[in-house]
Amino acid sequence: MADKPGLSSGVGRIERLDPQLQLTVRDHVHRILRGAILAGRFTPDEKVNERQLAEQFGVSTTPVKEALRLLEAEGLVQSLPRRGILIRFNINWAEEMILARAALESMIGRLAARRMSEDSKPTLKATVGLMEAATVSGNADELIALNETFHDQIHRASRCQYLVRLIERQQFYDASIRRIIHSDPAEREKALHEHSAIAAAIIDGDAERAEKQMRDHVVRSGETYLSIVFGNKEDV
């Protein structure tokens, strides 16, 4: 895998924080760093420097240290004696995240088909209609928002608590990756077809079909993500 620009350049890697966000600076640093790692802006085994990160964020090193500890707990980075902090996210890790999310979302889809109230069905159908309009117009930002709405509605309809909490850790697309995906007309059409099929299965109360449609959608979109972030590279 080719080396990427060093952290000292800071070009296209990290966005500076708005000073008004200082009260929750650790959380914002964690969110932005996590998104950058999952978007492939750091290479596997790349060493990161706390002080350089702090300079790029425009904050002290304290929230950066705290954010890195959270990332280490998630397994995305590792602190090693005399070696510093290394990026551990790679194509194998990403693939496992996709498969974990596919398993969780498919079970949620299955339960949504069994548990969705009649009152909630028109709302889900309406969301698919909005997604169709946004697909035609090519509005990537609207599609990103509607995609989140679509899955949130299914989560609520499933009335799951444990599974929904688990899936929060499997959210690995950041806005930039979603925007790239939805900027491709062919990808937009595939996603619309899949979302329509998922909604139809859930509305019909077909648990097995909903489970399969959801699983296939998450795996396929995950493969698109892998292609964007890692290309044809393989972890060695």
Together in a domain, 226 and 184: yes
End-to-end CA distance of the chain: 10
Per-residue pLDDT tens over the stretch 117-129: 999 999 999 999 9
How many domains does the chain fold into?
A: 2
Together in a domain, 146 and 226: yes
- Pairing type for strands 47-48 and 77-80 reads unpaired
Per-residue pLDDT tens over the stretch 79-91: 998 889 999 999 9
Per-residue pLDDT tens over the stretch 9-37: 445 666 665 555 445 889 999 989 998 89
- Model-level pTM? 0.79
Together in a domain, 170 and 97: yes
- The tokens for 1 are 């895998």
Length of the chain: 236
Together in a domain, 177 and 62: no
- The tokens for 78 are 């590792």
Per-residue pLDDT tens over the stretch 186-224: 889 999 999 999 999 999 999 999 999 999 999 999 899
